[in-house]
Amino acid sequence: MGTTMHAIRQTGSNGPSSLHWGTTERPHPGDGEALVRITHAGVNRADTLQAQGHYPPPPGVTDILGLEGAGLIEDPNNGTRPDGTPWKAGDEVAFLLSGGGYAEYAAVPHGQLLPIPAGFGLEQTASVVEVACTVWSNICMTAHLREGQRILFHGGGGGIGLFGIQLAKALGATVATTAGSAEKLATCQEYGADILINYREEDFAGVLAGCGGVDVILDIIGAKYLARNIDALAPDGHLVIIGMQGGVRAELPINKLLAKRGNISATGLRYRDREDKARVVRETVSNVWPMLEDGRIRCHIDRVMPAEQAAAAHRALLSGEVTGKIVLKLPGAH
């Protein structure tokens, strides 16, 4: 076993053009970590931010991009599956990372290893780990979405949106979504969205307040939507902000929030500690994996590209032309 590997290296903070395929040192698994040979890595909008010099990895984590993937166990290092049986070398596995997915190998904390859902391949599984953990932790563990409630996903055509729509429908919620084109909204509808709002043509807050408001909002916009999101909330509603594509500071109308007993959480997976991530992964596997296995949730991969073309993948994501996910294929994939 060599001591180097191929990976996407970042040589600046200039976005896609900073990304190059090269070689680097292979990671060594520490205590409580397995070594995984990666075959597929999911691409997330957060990766494009990191390539632009924002959203740095937590202290001590590799600066290689990539928050999720799938592959084969190279060295289990005594890790066990959620059901308690040991992982073995050669087992197919998926994983949630704090960084390091755009590479041939990653050291993965045992609590962030996930089994492959029955009937799923590595490519498909690599495309759902981050969205599944993100959507479950936010709409269920943070906002406690219940059957019969209403939820709004902004950017319904993205990876989180398409996954969230299906998960919320599986939980018995009514789903509203915003997107910027009729085509993306048609895809949202195909995956189950009930209320479709083209944000270029309609004011989502007016539409939703007019029908009683929504109980939960999963927001990736931040400042630009803050006031309107609060207008769109139902009494006791919960706004969960997981992205700030629309700015980082905005005026909060506390009186409106108080009048509807509203809640705001701003959160993310990446900076949680290991124990917290393991808890999210455990709950996601036990609650969401069955929905993948029985077809209640399907993955939507827009395209699969060789990992060497990560820069092109980022350009595609940033252009807004992508619906669902992009997956990078590492050289070791069959």
Q: Contact 34/107 with Cβ under 8 angstroms? A: yes
CB of 259 to a second copy, least distance (A): 8
User: Residues touching a second copy: how many (CB under 8 A)?
Assistant: 28
Per-residue 3-state assignment (H helix, E strand, C coil) for 186-225: HHHHHCCCCEEEECCCCCHHHHHHCCCCEEEEEECCHHHH
What span, in angstroms and rounded, lies between the C-alpha atoms of 228 and 91? Answer: 47
Q: Contact 266/239 with Cβ under 8 angstroms? A: no
Binding track, positions 167-206, relative to a second copy; x by CB under 8 A = ----------------------------------------
244 binds a second copy, rule: CB under 8 A: yes
Of 200-239, binders to a second copy (CB under 8 A) are: 222-223, 226
What burial class does residue 31 get, using C-beta atoms within 10 Å of its C-beta: 0-12 exposed, 13-18 middle, 19+ buried? Answer: exposed
15 binds a second copy, rule: CB under 8 A: no
CB of 281 to a second copy, least distance (A): 17
121 binds a second copy, rule: CB under 8 A: no
CB of 47 to a second copy, least distance (A): 17
Q: Contact 311/19 with Cβ under 8 angstroms? A: yes
Binding track, positions 251-290, relative to a second copy; x by CB under 8 A = xxxxx-xxx-xxxxxxxx--xx------------------
Residue placing its CB nearer to a second copy in the complex, 68 or 219: 219
CB of 269 to a second copy, least distance (A): 10
Residue 25 has a CB neighbour count (10 Å cut-off) of: 11
CB of 303 to a second copy, least distance (A): 30
Give the CB-side neighbour count of residue 261, counting CA atoms within 13 A. 3
In the complex, the residues that contact a second copy under the rule CB under 8 A are 222-223, 226, 241-242, 244, 247-255, 257-259, 261-268, 271-272
